Homo-oligomer: A and B are copies of this chain.
Amino acid sequence: MAIDPRSHTPVYVQLADILREQIEAGELAPGSALPSEARLTQEHGIGREAVRMSISLLRSEGLVNTVRGHGSYVREVPQRRQVELAPGASVVARMPSGGERRSMQLDEGVPILEVRGPEGNVEVLPGDEVELTRPPT
């Protein structure tokens, strides 16, 4: 359970594994706060940078969300609304640019869906709120 600084797996990966396990086990429930950086630093006897890299890793996986000056929280499992893919349309997934992320108010680790309609019109959807569907015949 304890972190081994001499292990070949980096300290920050070890801590991320511990936290991920606690999240998936429900010990850290959706919406609940992770321990602060200072606490994680002290309790695991590691530096602050390693702690921050751990949380950054979980953020990039879409598992947690960090609010500056407040804390890091386990992301709620998003409620997805169903969007029907129109006939003749196509869709690609990609990460948003910084500007797109801000304007769409997306958390880190959230991709976007870019839907091209048959007439060339493009629609950009938040990847964590949408489930694209094609109705049965």
The distance from the CB of A113 to the nearest CB of chain B, in whole angstroms, is: 5
Residue A30 lies at the interface, judged by CB distance under 8 Å to chain B: no
Number of interface residues of A (CB under 8 A): 39
Residue A104 lies at the interface, judged by CB distance under 8 Å to chain B: no
Instruction: Provide the bound-state CA to CA distance between A62 and B92, in Å.
Output: 14
Instruction: Provide the bound-state CA to CA distance between A131 and B80, in Å.
Output: 21
Q: Name A's interface SS.
A: loop
The residue of chain B having its C-beta at the shortest distance from the C-beta of A116 within the complex is B131
With contact pairs A60-B60, A97-B61, A111-B111 given, residues A92 and B134 touching in the complex (Cβ less than 8 Å): no
Instruction: Provide the bound-state CA to CA distance between A128 and B111, in Å.
Output: 11
Select A95's contact among B62, B86, B90, B92, beta carbons within 8 Å.
Answer: B62
- Say yes or no: B80 contacts A95, CB within 8 Å: no
